[in-house]
Amino acid sequence: MNISELLAQSARTFAQRPAVCLGGKTFCTYAGLRDRSAALAAGLRARGVPVGGRVVIYMGNRPEYIEILFGIWAAGCVAVPVNAKLHPAEVDFVLKNCGAALLFTDEAEEKVSFAGTVVVASPEYTALLAEPAPFLTEQVAPEDPAWIFYTSGTTGRPKGAVLAHRNLWAMTLSFLADICRVTEDSAALHPAPLSHAAGLFALPFVRRGAVNVIPESGGFNPEELVELLHRFPHSSFFAAPTMLNRFTACPVLDNQAMDNLDLIFCGGAPIYVEDLRHALNLLGSRIWIGYGQGEAPCTISYLPPHLLGPDTSEALLGSAGIPRSGVSVRVVDNTGVDCLPDVPGEVIVSGDVVMAGYWQNPEATASAMRDGWLYTGDIGSFDDQGVLTLKDRSKDVIISGGSNIYPREVEEVLLRHPGVTETNVVGRPHPDWGEEVVAFVVADPEVTAEALDLLCLDQIARFKRPKSYRFVQSLPKSSYGKILKTELRRLLAETEPRL
């Protein structure tokens, strides 16, 4: 079934309910969203975009984003959302790699040069909406592509994870089963990029006739978010851990905003125990921690909010929780055999939410997809109660003297120092041990390497402690708030002599 049926169903039931708001003002109702998406679908057909044609969306958050998604799907085409902060050269690669038929953007003259460009809010875009059309969804197979999510490309050229209509339906149903009660009175606020998980999380809210709210700034501003919470009861939003930290530190966050907050969906990167505990102390069980990948969007495991509280054990707070509905999760060794409890291995996943493969990349697909299982590249372990704890990405594990060191374990200890704001740990080559641990630290001026060393020696094995501390003003992050270990490794390589 075409995923655009989500909108068709809700437009019949909730026709006059607000579907999309820009700030506090209604942009369109569900009937309006259906009609605008139908006109876009007809416009794509009229421009010769074929069924299965790839349509790239390269723009920031704006209310038209959601109608563009549903217009693409209704036409039987494939949405290819890319982060608005990518460099034009990176977008040019995506356009060529996916064989794009059309590009929607918001500032064409400042971005890429592409023959099939439509600038949103331009006369050309208005013309696409001008001719009324019935909402006719193109019949597609469940396995047909609906969304191509390009990875960040931190280890090479980005790969396009192909998400079929079946994957998006499975993700939507899993959300409604596991996360929170969504009704027509609910609101999804969108301070995070719609090109990522936030855009996918819009789907279950559309299915229930809830409103999707785009901040007027188009992005994340904690004060603006508090204002929106004042306007919209029963609100939820997606936040990366760095966004959650900034939100909880917002000086204007008050009881009214917290009373109107249903849930914060936190994901995109691991959240440290100390940060999570602080957020729980302030917000209570309004935080939902999820683990997923672009290849299995938002749907591998989760920490149910009712398990979280001030007295929750550190082990549970540091975990990725239990498997989501509709997926099977295993931890296996390098021969594919299931690991015993508390023994680390690679996390592998199976289910309808798992991607079809990588776009026109059979080698990468064969490496990641084996015997019906997605090999995530993440290292983790199950305990004897089925709770999954992630150690690190397999490529980030530091091997020193033949022993595995998981950077997150060291980072968690360093963050226990009250003067440490942020930290990230990487490995650097060592002639005798293979690698040794280096910690990049954002901290108060009085924090010393000696104090951090004593903290580590008191908490973890001696061989795991950092052999060098780099005190920095900030850590490099992606536009999505994820710390870029590749940049830290590059900095090390540039500032240290070769072995």
Residue 404 and residue 374 share a domain: no
Residue 151 and residue 78 share a domain: yes
Q: Three-state DSSP class for 89? A: helix
Residue 271 and residue 367 share a domain: yes
Tell me the residue range of the domain where 182 lies. Answer: 5-382
Residue 416 and residue 371 share a domain: no
**Residue 452, domain member (yes or no):** yes
**Residue 387, domain member (yes or no):** no
Identify the pLDDT of residue 438.
95
Identify the pLDDT of residue 241.
86
Identify the pLDDT of residue 474.
92
Identify the pLDDT of residue 111.
67
Tell me the C-alpha distance between 356 and 365, whole Å. Answer: 9
Q: Which of 331, 359, 382 is the last residue of a domain?
A: 382
Number of structural domains (the chain) is: 2
φ/ψ (deg, to 5) at 127: -65, -35
Residue the block writes with tokens 């749907």: 299
Identify the pLDDT of residue 154.
43
Residue 428 and residue 362 share a domain: no
Domain containing 428 — which CATH number? Answer: 3.30.300.30
**Residue 277, domain member (yes or no):** yes
**Residue 389, domain member (yes or no):** no
φ/ψ (deg, to 5) at 69: -55, -50
Q: Let me know: does 129 contact 44? Beta carbons within 8 Å.
A: no
Question: Around 404, how many Cα atoms within 13 Å sit in the side-chain half-sphere?
Answer: 15
Domain containing 160 — which CATH number? Answer: 3.40.50.12780
Identify the pLDDT of residue 496.
63
**Residue 391, domain member (yes or no):** no
Residue 410 and residue 366 share a domain: no
The edge-to-edge listing of strands for the beta sheet with 261-266 is 25-29, 18-22, 211-214, 187-189, 235-239, 261-266, 287-293, 296-303, 322-323
Residue 134 and residue 174 share a domain: yes
Identify the pLDDT of residue 479.
63
Residue 475 and residue 378 share a domain: no
Residue 98 and residue 127 share a domain: yes
Residue 464 and residue 360 share a domain: no
**Residue 390, domain member (yes or no):** no
Closest of 411, 152, 375, 170 to residue 275, by C-alpha? 411
Q: Which of 382, 411, 428 is the last residue of a domain?
A: 382
Residue 304 and residue 158 share a domain: yes
Total count of residues recorded for the chain: 499
Residue 83 and residue 44 share a domain: yes
- Residue-by-residue pLDDT tens, the chain, 499 positions: 899 999 999 999 999 999 999 999 999 999 999 999 999 999 999 999 999 999 999 999 999 999 999 999 999 999 999 988 887 888 899 999 999 999 999 976 566 889 999 999 899 999 999 888 999 899 999 999 999 999 865 445 789 999 999 999 999 999 999 988 899 999 999 999 999 888 999 999 999 999 999 999 999 999 999 999 999 999 999 998 888 999 999 999 999 999 999 999 998 777 888 889 999 999 998 999 999 999 999 899 999 888 887 788 999 999 999 999 999 999 999 999 999 999 999 999 999 999 999 999 999 999 999 999 999 999 999 999 999 999 877 778 888 876 778 888 899 999 999 999 999 999 988 877 888 999 999 999 999 999 999 999 988 888 899 999 999 999 998 766 778 888 898 888 877 643 3
